[in-house]
Chains A and B, each alone.
Chain A
Amino acid sequence: MMADIFRKASRGFSPCLRRFSDFRVTKQSLESPSTPLSEQASLYVHWPYCLRRCTYCNFNKYIPKGNNEEIMAKCLQMETETLLQLSQVSCITSVFFGGGTPSLAHPSTIAKILETVSKKVTLSDEAEVTLEVNPTPVGRAKLKDFHHAGVNRFSIGVQSLQDNDLKSLGRDHSSLEALQTLEEAKRLCPSSVSVDIMFGRPEQTVESWSSELSDMLRVCDDHVSLYQLTLERGTQLFKQVHGGQIHMPTEDTTAEMYQAARETLQQHGFQQYEVSNFARNNSESRHNLSYWKGEQYIGVGPGAHGRFVPLGEGGVAREARTQTLEPDVWIREVQQRGHGTRRRIQLGHLELLEEVLVMGMRMTKGINHKNWELFSPELSLHEIFGASLNFQELQQSGQLILDDRGLRCSWKGLALLDSILPILLVELDRQIFPKSAS
């Protein structure tokens, strides 16, 4: 309780920024089960620019040309407003600034966007507002202002503590700089800092990984995101590997690295709550949890994705929406009609359930019956999966658990989730549309 109050007091107050309405004390109220799904959403804002492209990256990111900052900021605000209006949500539960490199944006841009949100809907002080940070000295220097602007959680892309690895991955910071950024972030937002680290890097061994992880755990805060480096077509790393200049660790090695990491983190008091995410002291990312729980989210910015019901247009079904990829084109569209939505696809009942299933199973707690019921009031998890022989096989071999809490993977099942999901999807299809030919 006291920690909460201290935390609130330590946030700077600035005029024309967030409105401090009621002080909600408990975090739980934001996820009150009585709130229907379509009344609230989380907000994702995409800042598309980076100074360089890392060799492994295939995200929607661009090198900025000229001074797009102002226009981009304006357009982000405009699209935020338009889509909030369209969704008719009364409350935004969390905000996530991703990219690209959002820490390249001006803190005032962040502030303006948050202000746009609070003017239109309820944005509680308790709402988690995360900013992804590239840990260069420049980024570090801006942290304080970001915090003043309303950011209360930082996600730092450390990736590796080996300087030569950072170089060959095309990163533009050293490990020392990353650690310094981490320190500053912890100072500003204690217990609200996450670090991203990568395993399965070229030339990495299980031993070097284990020791690197231990080093990291000595200095990090309460949240760790652990990602396996994957080769994506069209990236420079892909070309290098296929050209034979770089060697990736074998599948067996990376499988071992993952298992070793899970165990190490557990030993250090971290609770794995999702395939790649680990937290202690209740510092789970509420924003990301909202994806995995199937809640609505609004995506703003070039290439952003959203899932919400456009009540403002009289819509009744949840839509999968994508904003235009290219920043320049996106900017034009936002200026012309208020938003740059490129694709909208209505999700049918089955498709929605499929998404809830696939996302939910990524959490170690899996899908609980109450949450499933929100999406599938007619058919429970037991009714859908209980009788299937394939499903029972998975239970018997210890990959899956279905009990009175809900459906989830076991420790070992989680590592094989993508082998399990197609089986579950076949069963789900069968039960929802028993006679359909597909």
Chain B
Amino acid sequence: MSKFPVDKIRNFCIIAHIDHGKSTLADRLLEMTGAIAKTEKNKQVLDKLQVERERGITVKAQTASLFYSHDGQEYLLNLIDTPGHVDFSYEVSRSLSACQGVLLIIDANQGIQAQTVANFYLAFESQLTIIPVINKIDLKNADPERVESQIEKVFDIPREECLRISAKLGTNVEAVLQAVVERIPPPAGSISEPFKALVFDSNFDHYRGVVANIAVFGGRVKKGDKIVSAHLSKTYEVNELGLLRPEEHPTQKLFAGQVGYMIAGMKDVKEAQIGDTLYHQEQPVQALPGFKPAKAMVFAGRILEQELDNYPGGVQHAIERLTLNDSSVTVQRDSSLALGAGWRLGFLGLLHMEVFNQRLEQEYNASVIVTAPTVPYKVLLSSAKLIKSRRAVQKNVVYIDEQRVMMKYLFPLNEIVVDFYDLLKSMSSGYASFDYENAGYQAADLIKMDILLNGRPVEELTTIVHRDRAYSTGKAMCERLKESIPRQMFEIAIQAAIGSKVIARETIKAYRKNVLAKCYGGDITRKMKLLKKQAEGKKKMRRIGNVEVPKDAFISVLKRKDK
């Protein structure tokens, strides 16, 4: 590895709006540099997680080191793949801190979208070199000229600097690699400095412990070295080091400018904090500037299943491990007047929460109930008059080009937290996109609404709503519950109530007859399948009074709103 002096190293990310082709370009780069064989199967190779493959999205940033020859010289290019969804911009910002440049991918037909802008600003603020790459030029409606104009106007980057490629077909992708070598500066820092590395990501491996992804900012580190974590002031011995290609390739040493992984006997999730600095025991250094912690926008309270003996340590442990790999999730013990005792997990968005839940189930076999996401409210103790807020206030409007306009509004978060994005997309046939940031707190007229099943309140569904919305929200929740709770041998009354006043109600009729008419020798197989499925379903149900409620009911209530 020492044949790669710092000046022959390039650390870069690919950033883009969702589906503009980051992962496909990553596949091509891997193929072209020989990291993976060229086959049909190289679709989103870096998306290792099951949930990523199933949904076709990148959730967790992955890293790969590539070897590339340019002008007779060998270079080490470290590529970090990043998610594009609006929920995961924090992952992007952490990856950026380990890079010196980015490839900003823009779809040749769609042009600049909301996340393009958001990611651009992230890179720009970090003073990274930005290489604009216009992708999907192979498609019929591609209009790279127009996109280049947009780029000039919005980002102030000369159109000559744009590259036009088709990642799918591989067209002009070689030019991308050349641009990375020629335009992105090598990392600062030299081998002669004291060792200093940034932990920008990590995984937990059951057998080997914490595997930290590090970017070496200075010096060198080898197996057996004693290193210290700046955050905890704890010392560790380096057990294993290596590159990611994208699979692990162990090496003896890592040098300044390189990106790779390290295993150093850390057993607990808390020992490898994202953003931490590592240095040699004998040579302490100034810690690298910390990250901006992510601001959670959506909260979910989780009820822990009582019988969770299939995972040691229970759900708490599973959550901790998962949050190690995803530090944009905030975890708090919580007890509030409205919600009672429990947990509060904060996510960057609904997709983030769903993906997290799915990973919890798939990777840790943990079965939990996710309940109403709520947005954080600050309670005003003063008895000042509450100001009735307007639901949205327009802030400004900017015309990007003849076809596109960007509008800024101030919204109460509650109004957009569930399905605003979906509605916006469907109303604009998919053209509109949006991004959000926290704009502080505003006073509003709020009340607590209970949901009751046969008279019993369901704590997990208690919500705080704006008074104007109470009836429609209550009604919608009752309707959703009616659709998701199966019939039982008695009638079920679903009610939404404010205090003792019932404001909405739905009823689920009791079964009067529920038995298969014919069940002879040939019918039993099919019947058993069905019954066993129902029995399995019953095991996962939550009992509220005498009513059996499936887990999905809780989630489906959240995905409410008028169709």
Residues of chain A having any CB pair with chain B under 8 Å: 44, 226-228, 230, 251-252, 254-256, 258-259, 275-276, 288, 291-292, 297, 299, 303-307, 320, 322, 351, 354-355, 358-359, 362, 393, 397, 399, 414-419, 421-423, 425-426, 429, 437-438
B405 CB within 8 Å of chain A: no
Instruction: Say yes or no: A417-B515 contact (C-beta < 8 A), given A299-B521, A305-B522, A423-B538.
Output: yes
Instruction: Say yes or no: A426-B539 contact (C-beta < 8 A), given A305-B521, A322-B525, A355-B524.
Output: yes
Contact across chains for B310 and A275 when beta carbons are under 8 A apart: no
Shortest beta-carbon distance from A183 to chain B in Å: 26
- What separation, in Å, do the CA atoms of A233 and B41 have in the docked complex? 38
Could you mark each residue 532-543 of chain B with 1 if its beta carbon is under 8 Å from any beta carbon of chain A, else 0?
A: 101111110000
A-B pairs with beta carbons under 8 Å apart, 10 shown: A275-B515, A276-B517, A362-B515, A399-B489, A417-B514, A417-B516, A419-B488, A419-B511, A421-B534, A422-B537
Q: What chain A residues lie within 8 Å of B521 (beta carbons)?
A: 44, 291, 297, 299, 304-307
Nearest-neighbor residue (CB-CB) of B534 within chain A:
A422
B interface residues, tally (CB under 8 Å): 29
Shortest beta-carbon distance from B21 to chain A in Å: 41
B337 CB within 8 Å of chain A: no
Nearest-neighbor residue (CB-CB) of A254 within chain B:
B513
Q: What chain A residues lie within 8 Å of B207 (beta carbons)?
A: none
- What separation, in Å, do the CA atoms of A275 and B521 have in the docked complex? 15
- What separation, in Å, do the CA atoms of A288 and B525 have in the docked complex? 16
- What separation, in Å, do the CA atoms of A336 and B519 have in the docked complex? 32
- What separation, in Å, do the CA atoms of A258 and B515 have in the docked complex? 11
- What separation, in Å, do the CA atoms of A425 and B534 have in the docked complex? 9
B528 CB within 8 Å of chain A: yes
Contact across chains for A251 and B539 when beta carbons are under 8 A apart: no
Q: What chain A residues lie within 8 Å of B391 (beta carbons)?
A: none
Interface residues of B in 321-335 (CB under 8 A from A): none
For B489, give its contact among A351, A358, A416 (CB under 8 Å).
A416
Interface residues of B in 491-529 (CB under 8 A from A): 511-522, 524-525, 527-528
Instruction: Say yes or no: A416-B535 contact (C-beta < 8 A), given A288-B520, A355-B524.
Output: no
- What separation, in Å, do the CA atoms of A359 and B511 have in the docked complex? 21
| Most chain A Cβ neighbours within 10 Å, of B512, B515, B519, B520 | B515
- What separation, in Å, do the CA atoms of A297 and B522 have in the docked complex? 10
Contact across chains for A426 and B535 when beta carbons are under 8 A apart: yes
Contact across chains for B513 and A422 when beta carbons are under 8 A apart: no
- What separation, in Å, do the CA atoms of A45 and B164 have in the docked complex? 71
Contact across chains for A418 and B516 when beta carbons are under 8 A apart: yes
Nearest-neighbor residue (CB-CB) of A288 within chain B:
B520
- What separation, in Å, do the CA atoms of A252 and B528 have in the docked complex? 26
Shortest beta-carbon distance from A381 to chain B in Å: 18
- What separation, in Å, do the CA atoms of A433 and B117 have in the docked complex? 57
- What separation, in Å, do the CA atoms of A417 and B517 have in the docked complex? 11
Nearest-neighbor residue (CB-CB) of A428 within chain B:
B535
Q: What chain A residues lie within 8 Å of B546 (beta carbons)?
A: 393
Q: What chain A residues lie within 8 Å of B519 (beta carbons)?
A: 275, 291-292, 359, 362
Q: What chain A residues lie within 8 Å of B532 (beta carbons)?
A: 354, 425
For A275, give its contact among B517, B522, B528, B537 (CB under 8 Å).
B517
Shortest beta-carbon distance from A27 to chain B in Å: 21
B531 CB within 8 Å of chain A: yes
Contact across chains for A422 and B515 when beta carbons are under 8 A apart: no
Q: What chain A residues lie within 8 Å of B534 (beta carbons)?
A: 421-422
Contact across chains for A276 and B531 when beta carbons are under 8 A apart: no
Contact across chains for B512 and A422 when beta carbons are under 8 A apart: no
- What separation, in Å, do the CA atoms of A351 and B528 have in the docked complex? 9
Contacts A351-B528, A417-B515, A438-B539 known; list 13 others, CB within 8 Å.
Answer: A226-B517, A228-B513, A251-B513, A258-B513, A291-B520, A299-B521, A304-B521, A354-B528, A354-B532, A358-B524, A397-B489, A415-B513, A422-B534
Nearest-neighbor residue (CB-CB) of B519 within chain A:
A362
- What separation, in Å, do the CA atoms of A422 and B524 have in the docked complex? 15
- What separation, in Å, do the CA atoms of A307 and B523 have in the docked complex? 12
Q: What chain B residues lie within 8 Å of A252 (beta carbons)?
A: 512
- What separation, in Å, do the CA atoms of A355 and B520 have in the docked complex? 12
Interface residues of B in 224-269 (CB under 8 A from A): none
Shortest beta-carbon distance from B552 to chain A in Å: 17
- What separation, in Å, do the CA atoms of A226 and B513 have in the docked complex? 14
- What separation, in Å, do the CA atoms of A230 and B489 have in the docked complex? 21
Q: What chain A residues lie within 8 Å of B537 (beta carbons)?
A: 422
Contact across chains for A228 and B517 when beta carbons are under 8 A apart: yes
- What separation, in Å, do the CA atoms of A214 and B511 have in the docked complex? 27
Shortest beta-carbon distance from A349 to chain B in Å: 15
For A415, give its contact among B512, B518, B528, B538 (CB under 8 Å).
B512
Shortest beta-carbon distance from B528 to chain A in Å: 6
Q: What chain A residues lie within 8 Å of B514 (beta carbons)?
A: 415-419
